[in-house]
């Protein structure tokens, strides 16, 4: 999915947080979104995802304002991931149920994510008891299971050990190749941005 931002102005309590004249996220690219703490990266992802609606300006998705068909294809992993108070397995399975994928196939797909993200040992654990890094992995697996065409990742590997973060990057690259999706990847890690992203955008 292609995203174009035009004349975006976002304020919180009269304070300008984002003032972006024109920004373009090309279809099929992995874009690193960088900037200081408080620069507005998370706010920008919330606006693009459609969660935050209070702003001036225009966001176009494949040339159109946000429609239901776009919303269904946008996946987001928030900086503080929100998971259902159910098992890890059920959390990852949920979007597959929504997509009406049959039970046997669902199990196969969820087992694949559990294996790839090294979550097999905790598949029955309730998501509200997970560590920060575990929760981020589960939230990412759940987002991927929904087969998004636009994936918004807010410091998703920040709490994850470097080796595991590299494994997740590899997995994301392979998903990206399969789906030709656009990924906006917020990170403070410049080495990671250089390694993983096609291009980078800085916001102030």
Residues that bind ligand ATP (CB under 6 A): 12-13, 17, 35, 37-43, 79
Residue 178 contacts which entry, ligand ATP, Mg ion, none (Cβ below 5-8 A, type-dependent)? none
Residue 192 contacts which entry, Mg ion, ligand ATP, none (Cβ below 5-8 A, type-dependent)? none
CA distance 36 to 127: 30
Would you give the end-to-end CA distance of the chain in angstroms? Answer: 25
Report the residue number, 28 or 35, with the smaller CB distance to Mg ion. 35
**Total residues contacting Mg ion (rule CB under 5 A)?**
3
CA distance 151 to 167: 18
Residue 95 contacts which entry, Mg ion, ligand ATP, none (Cβ below 5-8 A, type-dependent)? none
CB 184 to ligand ATP: min, Å = 12
Report the residue number, 51 or 69, with the smaller CB distance to ligand ATP. 51
Report the residue number, 37 or 178, with the smaller CB distance to ligand ATP. 37
Report the residue number, 41 or 142, with the smaller CB distance to Mg ion. 41
CA distance 1 to 110: 25
Strand partners, 185: 32, 153
CB 9 to ligand ATP: min, Å = 13
Residue 38 contacts which entry, Mg ion, ligand ATP, none (Cβ below 5-8 A, type-dependent)? ligand ATP
Collect all residues with Cβ–Cβ distance below 8 Å to 14 and sequence separation of at least 6: none
SS (H, E, C) 60-120: EECCECCCHHHHCCEEEECCCCCCCCCEHHHHHHHHHHHCCCCHHHHHHHHHHHHHHCCCH
Report the residue number, 12 or 202, with the smaller CB distance to ligand ATP. 12
| The two three-digit tokens of residue 28, written as one number | 């099929």
Residues that bind Mg ion (CB under 5 A): 41-42, 79
């Amino acid at each position: 999915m292609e995203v174009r931002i035009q004349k975006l102005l976002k304020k919180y309590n009269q304070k300008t947080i984002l003032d972006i004249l024109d920004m373009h996220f090309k279809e099929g690219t992995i874009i690193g979104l960088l900037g200081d703490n408080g620069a507005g990266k998370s706010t920008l992802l919330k606006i693009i995802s459609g969660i935050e609606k209070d702003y001036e300006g225009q966001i176009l998705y494949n040339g159109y304002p946000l429609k239901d068909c776009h919303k269904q294809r946008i996946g987001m992993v928030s900086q503080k991931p929100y998971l259902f108070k159910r098992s890890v397995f059920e959390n990852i399975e949920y979007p597959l149920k929504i997509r009406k994928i049959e039970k046997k196939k669902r199990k196969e797909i969820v087992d694949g994510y559990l294996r790839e993200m090294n979550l097999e040992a905790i598949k029955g654990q309730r998501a509200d008891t997970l560590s920060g890094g575990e929760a981020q992995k589960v939230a990412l697996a759940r987002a991927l299971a929904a087969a998004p065409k636009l994936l918004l990742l807010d410091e998703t590997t920040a709490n994850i050990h470097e080796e595991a973060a590299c494994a997740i990057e590899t997995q994301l690259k392979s998903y990206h190749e399969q789906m030709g999706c656009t990924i906006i990847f917020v990170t403070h890690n410049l080495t990671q941005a250089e390694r993983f992203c096609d291009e980078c955008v800085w916001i102030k």
